[in-house]
Amino acid sequence: MPAVTVDQLRKSYQDTVALKKESFRVEPGELFGVIGPDGAGKTTLFRILTTLLVPDQGQARVEGFDVVKDYRQIRHITGYMPGEFSLYMDLTVAENLRFFATIFDTTIEENYHLIRDIYQQIEPFKHRLARNLSGGMKQKLALSCALIHKPRVLILDEPTTGVDAVSRKEFWEMLIQLKKQDITILVSTPYMDEAGLCDRVALIQQGSIMKIDSPARILEDFPRKLWAARSNQPYKLLQDLREYIDLASVYPFGDSIHITHKRDEMDKQQLEDFLQQRGHPDIEVAPARPTIEDCFMDLMNQGT
Amino acid sequence: MKTILFILQKEFIQVLRNRTMLLLIILLPFIQLLILVNAATFDMKDIDVYVVDKDLSTTSRELVSKFEASPFYNLVNKSFNMEDGHDKLLRDQAELIVHIPSHFEHDLRNEHHAPVQLLIHAINGTAAGLIHAYSATIISGFNQQIAVEWSQGKLAKANQPLEVVYSYWYNPEMNYKIYMVPGILVILVTIISLFLTAMNIVREKEMGTIEQINVTPIRKYQFIVGKLLPFLVIALFELAFGLFLGRMIFDVPVVGNLGVLFGFTLVYLLVILGFGLFLSVISESQQQVMFVTFFFMLVFILMSGIFTPTESMPDWAKKVNVINPIAYLMKVIRMILLKGSGFMDILKEFYSLLIYAVLSLGLAVWRYRKTV
């Protein structure tokens, strides 16, 4: 039995469609990433799975329980960490953890082994009020609270948004550790670079899932050859490239500009000549390895 | 049941940790009772009176001396100048002008009739009415006195066939404070329970913690009970504390049964908590809930009969008061404390509020269940 089944799920708010009849499955023990920009429908999907929202159409099951009919059972077996910190600011670290343990009818001691690695890092501050914790510590506390009842499915909504690079890396290491405890993890993120850490990812955009696969396979499926162009006038370069014929896509990527050509083989020399004429004496065009972000951009272009 | 206990435990930690709130709970009864009861009094003292005595006869001076002798009046000035008197009235330096025209004594003796003019500052109608009543009493007393003196006692008997003897029940000394203290206690209990409840749940919404609660197995009724019970306890504590202060400071009588009072207040609080819960469920932010709560509080308090008896309100206002929970407690707390009414005397109010409590809580819970 899959850990999560989503079948033709649809949800709209007034005129905006947040989810357009989407379906997918998550296998037990998987670390499944839902990747997409803000407003793509990630939070809506997670709120349906955590029984906070009722879908307009379609079905969703968590561990075999229907999110509408069996919402009560689902609340016992899922752990949810919302995008915004939502523990009690005026309770201490220990009080928050104990409160969430007790309302799930368990104790900190009983499931301490699950959260040990995470909680140990904030345990020295356990008598500090949650509001006085740093961003990274708040996040560790939130994760501890979401885990304390030993959920079978853990749902994390943008846990790394607004967190510094070091804490983000630490956080993903924690998730990979948790996977070993047989917990299915669904995590959403707007950061494409985090996709590579998941077993499988769903790329989502404007309420539709464009692709679901393992990160490696998604990269393999990138359809064209990717080039990176670099000059010391990046903005002018972008404008000039857009005028060049037969390019399939042109978009800035870090300090360079990624381009793909409509045909498989692009005449690199011809492009460089064109750009030198346009006033880019130091132009440099080289083949590049696609990333998830490139795949995302490509899928987005296909869609429109 | 265990879950409710855990929620209660959490709520109490939070309330007790909030220093400002704690201070408010302790200080509010003191401040409200001491300031409001002493300030909001209808007794008039030191009425500034300006006398324009154009007659300056024995009789007119005797009348003026009656005003001077009264503890309620404070003579600002005496003159023949009506203009100056008007001026003082205009500048708020006098509240009353007593104008005695010339030939006052002469007219009185020869024609058995002479006018005295009273000019009263009437921006505050209630105060003006009181000033008029006091002054009229003084003048009619004086009238009686000279009538008796001048007719050597014959007239007096004929003029007063009936003698009225007053006895003020339930508040024999007509002490306004004794009337006010129970009223202030009602306000106190209402503020504490309504505001705390309404703000508390909205706060969970605003901070997003309700989201985290909603994904746990906590049932809605458990959450509501856990939320409302602490404020019920705090409000009852406030009543006890305020009553104690009222007894110590103002010597407010407690004629009736305190058990009946607390039982009735408990039902009243259920109504108020239902209101608070409902307001917080339909509001999105603390600001919103604050505004709406304040609006209802103000209307209900002013209509409740804290200052003016509800019986003298127009018919439509009396009908509105049927849905004004504060009016019920306002009436009953005075009945119990001052008059010593028993449970049987407040039966009607008790059942009305009980039905109201079921409606208000029911509506709030129903509305709350509809939200996720």
More confident residue, B311 or A58: A58
Give the pLDDT of residue A26.
Answer: 93
Say yes or no: B17 contacts chain A, CB-CB below 8 A: yes
Cβ distance B216 to A87 less than 8 Å, yes or no, reads no
pLDDT in tens, A166-218: 888 888 998 998 888 889 999 999 888 888 899 999 999 888 888 899 998 98
A51/B216 CB distance under 8 A: no
Tell me how long chain A is: 304
Q: How far is B2 from chain A (nearest CA, A)?
A: 8
Residues 6+ apart with CB under 8 A from B156: B144, B147, B148
Domains and CATH numbers, chain A: 4-220 (3.40.50.300), 226-303 (3.30.70)
The angle formed by the CA atoms of residues B233, B237 and B242, to the nearest 5 degrees, is 150
Residues B206-236 as b/e (b if ≥16 CB within 10 A, e otherwise) read: bbebbbbbbbbbbeeebbbbbbbbbbbebbb
Q: What integer pLDDT is reported at residue A289 of this predicted model?
A: 87
| B14 CB within 8 Å of a chain A CB | yes
What is the C-alpha to C-alpha distance for residues A89 and B208, in angstroms, rounded to an integer?
Answer: 11
For the cut 80, the answer to whether the pLDDT of residue A263 exceeds it is: no
> What is residue B153's predicted lDDT score, i.e. its pLDDT?
58
Asked if residue B160 has pLDDT above 80, the reply is no
The pLDDT-based confidence of A267 (bands split at 50, 70, 90) is confident
The residues on A that touch B, with CB distances below 8 Å, are 50-54, 72, 75-76, 78, 80, 82, 84-91, 95, 99-100, 102-105, 145
How far A104 CA sits from the closest chain B CA (Å)? 7
Q: How far is Cα A58 from Cα A8, in angstroms, rounded to an integer?
A: 5
User: CB–CB of A231/A282 below 8 Å?
Assistant: yes
pLDDT for res B359: 95
Whether A164 contacts A133, CB under 8 Å: no
CA nearest A25: which of A44, A2, A48, A45? Answer: A2
pLDDT of residue B240: 95
Distance from C-alpha of A47 to C-alpha of A72, rounded to nearest angstrom = 15
Whole-number Å distance between alpha carbons of B62 and B142: 9
Give the A:B interface size as CB pairs under 8 Å: 60
Spatial distance between the Cα atoms of B333 and A228, rounded to a whole number of angstroms: 83
| Residue pointed to by tokens 């649809």 | A10
**Amino acid found at A19:** L
- Amino acid of residue A70: D
Do A75 and B13 lie within an 8 Å CB cutoff?
A: no
* Contacts with B18 from chain A: Cβ below 8 Å: 90
Confidence label for A279 from pLDDT (cuts 50, 70 and 90): confident
Parts of chain B belonging to CATH 3.40.1710.10: 47-159
Residue A91 in contact with residue A129, Cβ under 8 Å?
A: yes
- The tokens describing A28, both together, are 């037990």
Average confidence (pLDDT) over A220-249 = 85
CA atoms within 13 A on the CB side of A85: 22
What pLDDT was estimated at residue B305?
Answer: 86
Choose among B14, B216, B372: nearest Cβ to A104: B216
Residue in A72, A84, A91 closest to B10 by CB: A91
Q: Which of A16-20, A100-104, A252-256, A265-269 has the highest mean pLDDT?
A: A100-104
Q: What is the pLDDT at residue B328?
A: 94
Does A103 sit within 8 Å of B218, measured CB to CB? yes
Mean pLDDT of B222-238: 92
pLDDT digits (tens, 9 = 90+) for B127-145: 888 888 888 888 888 888 8
- B47-159 classified as CATH 3.40.1710.10: yes
Q: Kindly report the CA angle at B15 between B22 and B261, in degrees rounded to 5?
A: 75
What are the φ/ψ torsions at residue A15 (nearest 5 degrees)? -90, -20
The count of other CB atoms within 10 Å of the CB of residue B80 is: 12
User: Where does the pLDDT of residue B154 fall: very low under 50, low under 70, confident under 90, or very high at 90 and above?
Assistant: low
Is the Cβ pair A88, B209 closer than 8 Å? yes
Which candidate, B219, B221, B223, places its Cα nearest to that of A72?
B219
Confidence of residue B40 (pLDDT cuts 50, 70, 90): low
In eight-state DSSP terms, residue B36 is I
| Mutation site, A74, A102, A103, A152, interface B, largest B CB count within 10 A | A103
Taking an 8 Å cut-off on Cβ atoms, the answer to whether A104 and B3 are in contact is: no
A148 pLDDT band, cuts 50/70/90, is very high
Per residue in B59-104, pLDDT tens? 889 889 988 888 888 888 888 888 888 888 888 889 899 999 988 8
Q: For an interface test with B, which of A86, A145, A153, A156 has the most B Cβ atoms less than 10 Å from its Cβ?
A: A86
What average pLDDT does chain A have?
A: 89
The answer to whether B211 contacts chain A (CB < 8 Å) is: yes
pLDDT confidence bin for B157, thresholds 50/70/90: low
Q: Give tens-digit pLDDT for B247-300.
A: 998 888 899 999 999 999 999 999 999 999 999 989 989 999 999 999 999 999
Q: Does B16 touch chain A (CB under 8 A)?
A: no
- Residue A92 DSSP label: B
Which residues of chain B from 134 to 163 reach within 8 Å of chain A, CB to CB?
Answer: none
Contact B79, B100 (CB under 8 A): no
Average pLDDT, chain B: 87
- Model confidence band, residue B161 (pLDDT cutoffs 50, 70, 90): low
If phi > 0 it is left, if psi is from -120 to 50 it is alpha, else beta; for residue B120 that is beta
pLDDT band at B41 (very low <50, low <70, confident <90, very high): low
- Percentage of the residues of chain A whose pLDDT score is greater than 70: 99
Express as a percent the part of chain B with pLDDT over 70.
94
The answer to whether the Cβ–Cβ distance between A99 and B211 falls below 8 Å is no
Residue of chain A with shortest Cα separation from B206: A86
Q: What angle do CA A207, A210, A211 make, to 5 degrees?
A: 135
ipTM of this complex prediction, to 2 decimal places: 0.79
| Alpha carbon of A81: minimum distance to chain B alpha carbons (Å) | 8
Q: What is the pLDDT of residue B31?
A: 87
* Residues shown for chain B: 372
| B14–A104 CB contact, under 8 Å | no
Contact A103 B6 (CB under 8 A): yes
> A105–B211: do the CB atoms touch at under 8 Å?
no
Does B216 reach chain A within 8 Å, measured CB to CB?
yes
Give the Å distances, CA to CA, from B39 to A213, B126, B293, B308.
Answer: 76, 15, 25, 16
> Are residues A85 and B208, on separate chains, in Cβ contact within 8 Å?
yes
B336-353 tens-digit pLDDT: 999 889 999 999 999 999
Q: What is the pLDDT of residue A278?
A: 85
Measured between CA atoms, how close is A80 to chain B, in angstroms? 7
Nearest residue, CB atoms, A52 vs list B6, B10, B211: B211
Q: What is the DSSP string of B227-240?
A: HHHHHHHHHHHHHH
Q: What is the mean pLDDT of residues A138-162?
A: 92
A87 vs B contacts (CB less than 8 Å): 209, 212
The pLDDT tens digits of the residues spanning A70-80 come to 989 999 999 99
Contact between residue B99 and residue B117 where contact means Cβ atoms under 8 Å apart: yes
DSSP tag of A37: -
**Distance separating the N- and C-terminal Cα atoms of chain B:** 22
Q: What is the largest CA-CA distance in chain B?
A: 96
What span, in angstroms and rounded, lies between the C-alpha atoms of B306 and B290?
22
Please say if the pLDDT value at position B372 is more than 60: no
Q: How far apart are CA A176 and CA A168, in angstroms?
A: 13
Name, in order, each residue with C-beta under 8 angstroms of A23's C-beta and a sequence gap of 6 or more.
A6, A7, A8, A9, A58
- Burial bucket for residue B41 (CB in 10 Å: 0-12, 13-18, 19+): middle
Rounded CA separation B160/A210 (Å): 103
Cα separation, A178 vs B177, in Å, equals 68
Residues A252 and A146: their CA atoms lie apart, in Å, by: 38
- Work out the average pLDDT over B207-222: 88
d(CA B61, CA B55): 9
| Contact predicate B340/B250, CB 8 Å | no
For residues A155 and A82, give the distance between their C-alpha atoms in angstroms, rounded to a whole number.
Answer: 8
What average pLDDT does this structure show over B156-167?
64
Nearest CA in chain B to A72: B217
Give yes or no for a contact between A5 and A61, defined as CB atoms under 8 angstroms apart: yes
